[in-house]
């Protein structure tokens, strides 16, 4: 698997040619680097580490083999050696494809055995792997071995990407999000993209689908900057994920201040109040006094299309004009970014004090302590694949469904969603409080005083409603930020990040709810609509019903039982 050093090599070698070629397109250097990683990442990183020249590396970027019997599931030309030999110049092309395999296998031990079969030959050519099916329409590209030079490879690749844009219906796009780039990569690989399947499309290597692998590589490319440049996403330390920065507000219309004087203002996905459930199209709850910026400045049915940022979450929707007051002057909508490191002075993290030698176990009834059993799993990986596996191991170890794990078992009106979320985050190396400072203690800490944690004196237990408020008020200084959609939440969690859905109850004193959003794996997936938007993330929870993996009720956080809700992320 290519690493950051391999991506940097690719950028150093080819970024100038790519930057010139993608001008006027929605593609960029990182996208092409990710595509090269996905298509021939098993080859060129090894070759360049062996000290081969750029020219040699490019010439040996071939792969995907066919023989006299075909490769099983292949449908495109040529399915077999006989298919190739039957067309004009087929023998000559076979000789080139056969020699390409033998030459590459001389450097790649994984191909040595395959190359001993005299009927085997390559059908993928160039660093972006143009398939031999195109021999029928452009034989000279292959027979003249143009794929051994970068510029012709790049031109072919960009041509196919442009055709993929048309097939997906985005031919007029000036820019693409990272997720959309992955969608185009899937269409590049398969010829089509089905939104409802998300990134689980394209070639499957037994672990990941093409779309998933491409997105991993694209995120890697975003963290690998050329000397003197700033990476789009800072490279994370081991045990944490590379999370995309919060999106800025781009609307340029007039600024407005939310003025309800008593409640939050519901931001909706459409310029209507949904019926029969008035919360069905709510995408955010804007606090009184919050700033928004108009997109068009033209009201529709009493609603104004606006953009804003809330706790780092980019929100774009429709707000009732009755509760918007024009804000004169150049109002700036601040975008909350999470602190890179938790505070070490002032209002710092706190946990429940523990007597020496006391062990808190899953098999014990819940209390205010964090788990400290022997053999607890953690999160230490340096790649999305490792991080996903480690998070799956945490879910398996906590095993919230196991009857013997009394810590999470509901009963007598009590449920323990907050404790399960804390335990998951605790094992993953992320601070989500089980106890937190009292108001009096916070006042003292803010003035620089040292405060000793004492139960029911300077610290108190935090339940789901309290976690909602804690994340809003203190989360960013401990690395948390909000994100605007369940799609973005699942996307980042799939990179190994920590994700939460948190909802605060309307009636104070009644329990709120919090679930952990976990990486998709195998058949365990989020639920998506026909447009590919996540409507129910893949979740893990303790509650009235405990489950390791599930989707829960679609949009449960929008229930009238809850006053507010939010999607939260931590790298």
**pLDDT tens profile 124-176:** 999 999 999 999 999 999 999 999 999 999 999 999 999 999 999 999 999 99
Instruction: Output the pTM of the full model.
Output: 0.94
Alpha carbons 555 and 534: distance in angstroms, whole number: 10
Tokens of 173: 């796009």
DSSP E strand stretches across 247-311: 255-258, 265-268, 282-286, 291-294, 303-310
Distance CA 333, CA 317 (A): 16
In this prediction, residue 72 carries a pLDDT of: 58
Residue with tokens 């040699």: 56
Residue 6's alpha-carbon distances to 2, 3, 40, 219, in angstroms, are 6, 5, 12, 14
Whether the predicted pLDDT of 69 surpasses 80 = no
d(CA 3, CA 6) in angstroms, rounded, equals 5
End-to-end CA distance of the chain: give it in Å, rounded: 22
According to DSSP, residue 508 is labeled: T
What CATH class has 384-570?
Answer: alpha beta
**Residue 120 — pLDDT band, cuts 50, 70, 90?**
very high
* Lowest-confidence pick of 56-70, 256-270, 309-323: 56-70
Sorted by where each begins, the domain ranges of the chain are 4-61+126-223, 255-326, 384-570
Q: How far apart are CA 81 and CA 152, in angstroms?
A: 26
| Separation of CA 29 from chain center | 19
C-alpha distances (whole Å) from 499 to each of 197, 245, 480, 495, 530 are 21, 15, 9, 11, 23
Query: Long-range contacts made by residues 191-196, C-beta under 8 angstroms, separation at least 24?
Result: 191/167, 192/167, 193/164, 193/167, 193/168, 195/528, 195/530, 195/531, 195/532, 196/528, 196/529, 196/530, 196/532
255-326: CATH homologous superfamily? Answer: SH3 Domains (2.30.30.40)
Could you write out the three-class secondary structure of 466-484? HHHHHHHHCHHHHCEEEEC
Mean pLDDT of 386-399: 98
Burial of 266 (0-12, 13-18, 19+ CB in 10 A): buried
Share of the chain above pLDDT 70, in %: 99
Strand partners, 503: 513, 565
Banded pLDDT at 412 (limits 50, 70, 90): confident
């Amino acid at each position: 698997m290519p690493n950051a050093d391999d991506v940097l090599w690719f950028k150093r070698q080819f970024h100038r040619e790519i930057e010139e070629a993608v001008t006027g397109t929605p593609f960029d250097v990182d996208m092409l680097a990710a595509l090269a990683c996905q298509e021939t990442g098993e080859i060129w990183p090894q070759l360049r580490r062996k000290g081969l020249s750029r020219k040699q590396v490019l010439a040996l970027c071939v792969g995907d083999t066919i023989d006299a019997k075909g490769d099983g599931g292949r449908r495109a030309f040529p399915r077999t050696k006989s298919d190739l030999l039957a067309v004009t110049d087929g023998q000559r092309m076979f000789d080139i494809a056969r020699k390409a395999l033998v030459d590459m296998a001389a450097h790649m031990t994984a191909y040595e055995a395959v190359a001993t079969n005299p009927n085997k030959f390559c059908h993928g050519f160039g660093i972006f792997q143009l398939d031999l099916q195109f021999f029928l329409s452009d034989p000279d590209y292959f027979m003249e071995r143009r794929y051994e030079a970068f510029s012709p490879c790049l031109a072919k690749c960009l041509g196919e990407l442009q055709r993929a844009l048309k097939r997906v219906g985005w031919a007029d796009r000036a820019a693409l999000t990272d997720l959309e780039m992955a969608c185009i990569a899937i269409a590049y690989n398969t010829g089509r993209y089905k939104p409802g399947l998300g990134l689980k499309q394209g070639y499957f290597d037994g672990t990941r689908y093409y779309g998933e692998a491409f997105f991993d590589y694209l995120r890697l490319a975003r963290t690998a900057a050329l000397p003197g440049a700033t990476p789009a996403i800072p490279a994370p330390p081991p045990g944490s994920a590379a999370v995309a920065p919060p999106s800025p507000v781009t609307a340029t219309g007039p600024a407005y201040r939310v003025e309800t004087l008593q409640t939050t203002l519901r931001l909706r996905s459409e310029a209507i109040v949904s019926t029969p459930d008035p919360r069905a199209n709510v995408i955010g709850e804007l606090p009184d006094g919050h700033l928004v910026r108009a997109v068009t400045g033209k009201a529709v049915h009493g609603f104004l299309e606006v953009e804003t940022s809330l706790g780092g979450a980019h929100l774009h929707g429709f707000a009732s004009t009755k509760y918007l007051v024009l804000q004169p002057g150049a109002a700036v909508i601040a975008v909350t970014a999470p602190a890179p490191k938790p505070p070490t002075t002032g209002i710092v993290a706190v946990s429940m004090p523990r007597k020496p030698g006391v062990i808190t176990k899953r098999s014990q009834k819940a209390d205010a302590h964090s788990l400290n059993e022997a053999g607890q799993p953690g999160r230490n990986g340096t790649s999305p694949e490792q991080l996903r596996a480690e998070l799956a191991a945490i879910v398996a170890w906590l095993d919230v469904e196991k009857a013997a794990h009394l810590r999470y078992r509901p009963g007598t009106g009590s449920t323990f969603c907050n404790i399960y979320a804390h335990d998951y985050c605790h094992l993953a190396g992320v601070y989500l409080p089980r106890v937190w400072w009292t108001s009096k203690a916070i006042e003292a800490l803010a003035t620089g005083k040292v405060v000793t944690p004492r139960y029911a004196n300077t610290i108190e237990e935090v339940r789901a409603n309290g976690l909602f408020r804690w994340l809003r008020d203190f989360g960013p200084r401990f690395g948390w930020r909000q994100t605007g959609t369940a799609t973005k939440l699942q996307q980042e969690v799939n990179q190994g990040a920590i994700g939460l859905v948190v909802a605060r109850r309307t009636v104070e004193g009644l329990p709120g709810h919090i679930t952990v959003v976990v990486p998709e794996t195998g058949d365990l997936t989020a639920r998506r609509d026909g447009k590919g938007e996540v409507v129910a993330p893949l979740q893990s929870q303790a509650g009235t019903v405990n489950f390791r993996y599930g989707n829960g009720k679609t949009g449960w956080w929008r229930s009238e039982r809850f006053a507010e809700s939010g999607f939260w992320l931590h790298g």
